[in-house]
Structure 1
Amino acid sequence: MTTALRTRILLALSAACAVFPIGAEAAYSGDGNTGIQRLDFIENRRRVERANRLTEEQQKLLADAQEMRKHLRHPLDETQPSPIAFEGDDLTYDERTGDFVAKGHVDIVQLAARRFQGDYVEGNTVRGDVSIPDKAHMLQLTEGQTRVTLDGYRINYNYQKRTGTMAEAKGKVGAYYMTGKRFEFYPDKIVVYDGTQTKCGAEKPDYHLSADVAELYPGDRLVLTNVKFWLKNKVIFTKKRHEVGISHPIQQNFPRAGYDSDDGVWLEQTFEQSIAPRVTAAFHFHVTTKHGWRSHYDLGWQNAGASALVTYGSFEDGDNNWIKKEPSLILGYGHRIGKSPVSYGLYSEYGRWYGSGIHSNHWVYGVSVTHDTIPFHGFGLDLAAGYSVTRESYDRSRVQGMNASAFLTKEFDDRFAAYVGYVYTKNTKANSLFHFNQEDYSKVIQTGMSYRIDKNNRIAVGAKYASGPREWTDVDYYWFHDLHCSQIILRYRSKQNSWKVKWEFTPW
């Protein structure tokens, strides 16, 4: 997710105080304003859990390392390199020098959960060298380092220094399926030369990135140099440097397309470039058949909990309301209060807005307070409150007041989840100059449910009840269908009798 997009989402949620559990980010989103995104967070967390689930091979490595620990001759010295055990059809070992040669189905296991396999292996236990001159397999589950499952050639590894190389390799490194002419392993990173990266596990992925150099820092970031973004066999754009935050991996670098009853056929894509430390420029391309060009441009800065964003262009909300910012400055700051479960956020936006034939200097500012999810009789309880002020130069209006929300969310099993919540906001379409991102009524109940039919299909319903007219103002139906590297989302808004179909790749 780009800095700009993350800032906008933070501000929008803070203003409504219908916040989600801290730290959650939705890879796939159902869109809409009925709170359905709460179920998206649950579903995408489950996706991460499935992606991180150990394979049988990985489980066996951990079991073998544990069994090896039981048979140590001496107490383990944590200051020394982790011991190894090796076996093969034909073994030769010199106790004086530490040299060894193993032939035929060789298996070398290091206590630190690292495995090497090949038909011919040689090395030295004193120096900590392992060398496989031909075809080789490497598996790594070492604590604090990136998970690795690779097949390649010419492994040279020193398990004392935790450094090594591997040639012509492919497999999975962390969350990425990677290939490379040369892999280099260091204690703090993995470097890949002339390689490819993708999160698509298909034999022939629909999309991938290629780079001259890729540097993967465990639990931190992936840095690519001289990058090409590919759709099938076509390069769609290039960048000199591209960085992905592994701790915040939700980034859309590939096109999304769809159909909307209000917009017609649409296509969008984000292009971003780091231009200075913590400063990112972005172009969010968006074009529709009914409204034409609706893109916007961002220049964003972020440091710790503080952020600043200058944006110019067109934006659309969940009710298909469009606004143009010409431009707008958005400031934000968020921080946890000590070691408490409470966090606060300060936000402000000032800019020239245009919509429905009206130009106005739009200024909104406020504060929000959120509480970490509270376990409550098997449910998750999310509470938030805030205060905001909105000023408009066009009619010299000023709308101010409290806003608050309370939601209960429940995961009944691996397939079924549901939520219900109450939202109060002072700002509504009735008292706001612009309807963009505004509720129809100040007091609403949001509820919904999601059910996974099978591995590739999930259905959901999101609804909103307004206490003012005492009626259901929104009832939205969703169908999520997974392809091998992408997802199709079908949304039907029954109260508005409108359709939206969205197709997007697995988020990078």
Structure 2
Amino acid sequence: MNRQKLAGVITMALLLPLWSSPVEAVYHADSDTGINALDYIENEHRQAKANRLTPEQEKLLSDAKAMEKNLRYPVDPKKAAPVAFEGEELTYDERDGSFMAKGKVDILQMDAHRFQGEMVTGNTKTQDVSIPDKAHILQMTPGQIRVTLDGYKAHYNYGAKTGSLENAKGKAGAHYITGKRFEFYPDRIVIYNGTDSKCGAQKPDYHTSAEKITYYPNDKIVMEKVKFHLRGKVIFSRDHYEAGVGSNADKTDYLPKIGYNEDDGLYLDWGLSFPVRKNVNFNTNINVGTQIGWHSNYDITWKNRGMSTGVRYGHYEDGDNFWIKKQPSAFWNYNAHFGKSHFTYGLNAEYGRWYGNGIHSNHGEYGVSLGHDPIKFHRYTLYLKTGYSITKESYNHSRVAGVSGDVVLTKDFNDRWAAYAGYHYSKKNRDNSLFKFNTDDYSKKLESGFSYRIDDLNRVAVGTKYDLDHKKWKNIDYYWYHDLHCSQLILRYKSLENGFSIRWQFTPW
């Protein structure tokens, strides 16, 4: 057998066709001062932190770029990306294409893949690569999700783009994943007996487990026989569960929140969603408090593209802790862009039986809105929206019709400082409305505030609301956010009311 030392660059593609983006965490403030205008900035900062490169990821990108510079011939984009092998012993049989590498083997692919192991075998003609013992896999390919996996018995065919990995664990994007077996296909990844969590603890505070998990890049994740775990306990399970990923991601949170405020007392707030059929979900928001009792709500919603419709029933609370009970109420919403422009429009309608303040009324509300996608310039972001609505009540035969307008400007100064200011107008207010729910007792208001990140774990903020109709401050609220390992504590002080509230929630999903 003619054997020779393996030298130079062998052209092969060791690709992992992983999903391009997981469901990302979404932070949402609990406020009636407009401070949620900073949510987008906070989410961007959290995303930047989650996407921060590790030293080995930085090295992989650097090595791939250096490899590209050192190539002596142009790379054909239609062919597999070049690969370089390093090891203490490298051999290659040119007759049948087989090769073997031993001793701290490092396989670098120019499209930013890295395979490492103590022994690697393969064949350039059949396009197979195998790591029979422990394997370390790193992926930083542009357009693909960042992946770091440690497992055993890795096998990959870079021609067919199929492969497998056993008893693996690691990280995909911001998600920590494990699985007894991974199978890779051109259009999907299948994980058997796997887990998924955004909590990086050795024993995660929360995670999902499933007998079978299938990821479809930029489309969806499908789980079979899935269980949702919290603090080591199964809180509920489903035979089948689907969620969008990438551009189809539906940002939801299945974890409960616990808090205290003077209006509700000690409370539990838990939002859950259960699929009924395609595009149809049964949603419930369980809210139980020591002072309010059982104040939950439910809805069945059909949603497709920019349209949603359904029926709601139960108690609903606004940012000022005003409650309304819908017994029930039907709704319809549609939101879209004008062609391919940045201008948006929305249509909405709701009609049903409302109860609040000891009053029952058939409540109807109809509206149209016009807006523009967020306008970014020099770390500023401008939000513009206007609309027209009509509200009718059977109780007193009232009709309130008029325009509304919102102009909000945010500024992301740096990683620590952010601020916002906004002007809001609404013809509808508590003076001309039957119910106090989701309305102010004035039409014109200014909202402003800022946040400051002290360190990676602590952030403070101030949110204010000013009544322009009566020329007086309505809210000056102070917030402290403290990140724990996989959860967050939020303390809020409403200075003009001398009231405290506290909320504890797991890291937003």
Aligned to 1:50, the other structure's residue is in SS state: helix
Is 2:72 the partner of 1:97?
A: no
Q: CA deviation at 1:382?
A: 1.6
Report the Cα distance in structure 1 between the residues aligned to 2:29 and 2:501, rounded to whole angstroms: 10
Q: CA deviation at 1:486?
A: 0.8
Maintained 8 Å contact 1:388/1:402: yes
Match of 1:343 in 2: 344
Report the Cα distance in structure 1 between the residues aligned to 2:343 and 2:105, rounded to whole angstroms: 54
Task: Give the TM-score taking structure 2 as reference length.
Answer: 0.92
Match of 2:7 in 1: none
| Paired letter, 1:353 | W
Show CA shifts across 1:203-234 (max 9, x none).
22111111101112233332211111111221
Q: How does 1:135-146 map to 2 (within 5 A)?
A: 135-146=134-145
Is 2:487 the partner of 1:490?
A: no
Aligned to 2:259, the other structure's residue is in SS state: strand
Report the Cα distance in structure 2 between the residues aligned to 1:468 and 1:112, rounded to whole angstroms: 61
Show CA shifts across 1:328-386 (max 9, x none).
11111111112222111111111111111111111111111111223456532221111
Match of 2:414 in 1: 413
Deviates more, 1:349-358 or 1:73-82: 73-82
Maintained 8 Å contact 2:183/2:190: yes
- CA spacing shift, 1:184–1:26, aligned 2, 3 Å: closer
Match of 2:425 in 1: 424
Unpaired segments ≥5 residues, structure 2? 1-23
Match of 1:230 in 2: 229
Match of 1:124 in 2: 123
Show CA shifts across 1:436-485 (max 9, x none).
00012100000010000000000001001111221110111111110110
Identity across matched positions, percent: 55
Is 2:203 the partner of 1:204?
A: yes
Maintained 8 Å contact 2:117/2:133: yes
Q: How does 1:217-366 map to 2 (within 5 A)?
A: 217-247=216-246, 248=249, 250-366=251-367
Aligned to 2:202, the other structure's residue is in SS state: coil
Match of 2:84 in 1: 85
Report the Cα distance in structure 2 between the residues aligned to 1:283 and 1:197, rounded to whole angstroms: 23
- CA spacing shift, 1:334–1:111, aligned 2, 3 Å: same
Q: CA deviation at 1:63?
A: 1.8
Match of 1:22 in 2: none
Maintained 8 Å contact 2:411/2:418: yes
Report the Cα distance in structure 2 between the residues aligned to 1:460 and 1:215, rounded to whole angstroms: 41
Match of 1:107 in 2: 106
| Paired letter, 1:89 | E
Q: CA deviation at 1:174?
A: 2.9
Report the Cα distance in structure 2 between the residues aligned to 1:188 and 1:113, rounded to whole angstroms: 20
Q: CA deviation at 1:73?
A: 4.2
Report the Cα distance in structure 1 between the residues aligned to 2:288 and 2:120, rounded to whole angstroms: 57
Is 2:62 the partner of 1:63?
A: yes
Task: Give the TM-score taking structure 1 as reference length.
Answer: 0.92
Match of 1:50 in 2: 49
Unpaired segments ≥5 residues, structure 1? 1-24
Report the Cα distance in structure 2 between the residues aligned to 1:93 and 1:443, rounded to whole angstroms: 77
Report the Cα distance in structure 1 between the residues aligned to 2:462 and 2:133, rounded to whole angstroms: 55
- The number of aligned residues is 484
Report the Cα distance in structure 1 between the residues aligned to 2:345 and 2:361, rounded to whole angstroms: 29
Q: CA RMSD in A?
A: 1.5
Maintained 8 Å contact 1:250/1:507: no
Maintained 8 Å contact 1:385/1:405: yes
Maintained 8 Å contact 2:140/2:146: yes
| Paired letter, 2:105 | V
- CA spacing shift, 1:375–1:137, aligned 2, 3 Å: closer
| Paired letter, 1:507 | P
Match of 1:19 in 2: none
- CA spacing shift, 1:26–1:96, aligned 2, 3 Å: closer
Show CA shifts across 1:168-211 (max 9, x none).
00001233101100011122222110011100112221111111
Report the Cα distance in structure 1 between the residues aligned to 2:104 and 2:312, rounded to whole angstroms: 60
Report the Cα distance in structure 2 between the residues aligned to 1:197 and 1:374, rounded to whole angstroms: 35
| Paired letter, 1:285 | I
Report the Cα distance in structure 1 between the residues aligned to 2:416 and 2:101, rounded to whole angstroms: 48
Report the Cα distance in structure 1 between the residues aligned to 2:148 and 2:154, rounded to whole angstroms: 13
Q: CA deviation at 1:49?
A: 1.6
Report the Cα distance in structure 1 between the residues aligned to 2:285 and 2:377, rounded to whole angstroms: 41
Q: CA deviation at 1:37?
A: 0.4
